[in-house]
Homo-oligomer: A and B are copies of this chain.
Amino acid sequence: MTLQCTKSAGHWRMVVWDEEGFQGRRHEFTAECPSVLELGFETVRSLKVLSGAWVGFEHAGFQGQQYVLERGDYPGWDAWGGNTAYPAERLTSFRPVACANHRDSRLTIFEQENFLGRKGELNDDYPSLQAMGWDGTEVGSFHVQSGAWVCSQFPGYRGFQYILESDHHSGDYKHFREWGSHAHTFQVQSVRRIQQ
């Protein structure tokens, strides 16, 4: 079994329900949705990713906490929000994520903001940045050369997630203020490629 993550394979499909356990009203998507409120949903309460990778957001308009959604079943908010101890129980907007071929993904991490200080080149998944030699618990800035990545506050992909993409911001994330509206520190202890 070989990992595949190619833009050409990018055929995105996701189904959402307004009740837990794939119950209630159902809606299928193949492209971004800036607000489920417009469908008459109060929020998404369960979902299945049928193909492609997606990112879900707490608020409408792709704002608030970010949740990577890869292929599989998510029967309740704990299935996607379960990576943080303070999950927002809301999922209001979402959009596809374009991955590179898994083996070709490249990310540079910098010790300081604005691409300054010591740097590290990543092309694999790192549940602990410290275990592979990164000093400390913070990353100051990121440059995504290729692919789509998710970094997390704590080791083992726990805590707040920040999605980093080569085709957003030109791949440049020079300060935590550019990582997302929910980011308020430089704390990053694990990083991996998003799987499509």
- Number of this chain's copies in the complex: 2
**Are A127 and B195 in contact, with the CB atoms below 8 A?**
yes
**Are A157 and B83 in contact, with the CB atoms below 8 A?**
yes
Binary interface profile of A, 141-175, with partner B (CB < 8 Å = 1, else 0)? 00000000010011111110000000000000000
Those of A62-92 within 8 Å (CB) of chain B? 68-74, 76-87
Set of chain B residues within 8 Å of A79, measured between Cβ atoms: 153-155, 158-159
Taking the complex as formed, is A130 at the interface, i.e. its CB lies under 8 A from any CB of chain B? yes
User: What band does the interface of chain A fall in when counting residues whose beta carbon is under 8 Å from B?
Assistant: 35 or more
Taking the complex as formed, is A196 at the interface, i.e. its CB lies under 8 A from any CB of chain B? yes
Residue of B nearest to A150 (CB): B156
**Are B154 and A121 in contact, with the CB atoms below 8 A?**
no
Given the known interface contacts A72-B137, A130-B72, A137-B72, the answer about A125 and B81 at a Cβ–Cβ threshold of 8 Å is: no
**Are A1 and B121 in contact, with the CB atoms below 8 A?**
yes
One of B80, B154, B192, B195 near A82 (C-beta < 8 A): B154
One of B77, B78, B124, B195 near A131 (C-beta < 8 A): B195
**Are A122 and B1 in contact, with the CB atoms below 8 A?**
yes
Residue of B nearest to A134 (CB): B1
One of B49, B122, B154 near A74 (C-beta < 8 A): B154
- Chain A interface (Cβ < 8 Å from any Cβ of B): 1-4, 49, 53, 68-74, 76-87, 120-122, 124-134, 137, 150, 153-159, 189-190, 192, 194-196
25 residue pairs A–B, Cβ–Cβ below 8 Å: A3-B126, A3-B132, A4-B131, A4-B132, A49-B128, A49-B155, A68-B156, A70-B155, A72-B130, A72-B189, A72-B190, A76-B85, A77-B85, A78-B158, A80-B156, A80-B158, A82-B82, A82-B85, A83-B83, A125-B125, A126-B195, A127-B195, A128-B195, A150-B156, A156-B157
